[in-house]
Amino acid sequence: MKVLKQSGLFVAAAMLVFACGQSTESTVETSEAQEVAEAEGQTLTIDKDATTIAWRGYKPTGQHYGKIPATEGSIAVQGSDITGGTFTFDITGLKIEDLEEGSENYGKLWGHLQSDDFFDAANHPTATFEITGVEPFAAGDMVEDMEQFETDNTPLASSELSPEAPTHWISGNLTMRGTTKNIKFPAAVSMSNGAVMAKAGFNIDRTDWGLSYGDESTAVDKAKDQFIYNTVSVELDFKAL
């Protein structure tokens, strides 16, 4: 699995598909869980202070965003290849950055996200990501966007979230709320002074992991704005050394 070849950088071409009167978005390629890659070679430990997962949720009347801290993780490197890796994130440590921490609204939203309506953190306090495969981002590869219901807070398109110059596709098993799904997304990966850095941005459909409160697919009349977008934007930024 070639990941760290600096000479193989390619700039992604962003492909937008527009429908009349609608904007665009897409979620990552999602499938059933796959076999985790066998880690070979040197093991690098993540720098928790430099590793974050940022999230952004949307509803027609507004947005909320924040971060979930990484608690542990490692990357296995053999030569210039990443052969495996695993990360753990603390759902109970979730932060909301658009509200004042300690305020009533912060407490209400934080409690709701921790509840069975969303993460069910009492039973599933962590989320994990385990690498199942890595492949080069080729010159002809595209970040494809799809149609989305348009409001003042339509989710960002995946092509907007993707790094400017992806180098590789990363596949891995994402486990949340006791459900594991395999996702595949573009990332910009580099190596410097023995450290591995990667940045990625993409959308997921939260209902694939059972976070179904306010499921937009059940909205009788979307014009009434009484739903929450199923799309959640995720931005990963990690460093291992």
Higher pLDDT: 6 or 191? It is: 191
| 191 occurs within a structural domain | yes
Q: And the tokens for 72? A: 């542990």
CATH of the domain at 153: 2.40.128.110
pLDDT of residue 16: 27
pLDDT of residue 169: 93
- For the whole model, what pTM was predicted? 0.85
Is residue 146's pLDDT more than 80? no
| 135 occurs within a structural domain | yes
180-193 average pLDDT score: 93
Q: Which residues are CB-neighbours of 122 under 8 A, at least 6 positions away?
A: 114, 116
pLDDT of residue 186: 94
Give the length of the chain: 241
If DSSP codes are grouped into helix, strand and coil, which group holds residue 41? coil
pLDDT digits (tens, 9 = 90+) for 2-11: 444 333 332 2
pLDDT digits (tens, 9 = 90+) for 206-228: 999 999 999 999 888 888 888 99
pLDDT of residue 13: 28
The number of distinct structural domains making up the chain is 1
| 99 occurs within a structural domain | yes
| 1 occurs within a structural domain | no
Q: How does residue 26 score in pLDDT terms, banded at 50, 70 and 90? A: low
- Please report where in the chains the tokens 């697919």 appear, as a residue: 217
Average per-residue pLDDT in the chain? Answer: 87
Cα gap 77→124, rounded to integer Å: 30
The domain in which residue 151 lies consists of: 6-240
- Please report where in the chains the tokens 């997921």 appear, as a residue: 204
Do the Cβ atoms of 1 and 38 come closer than 8 Å?
Answer: no
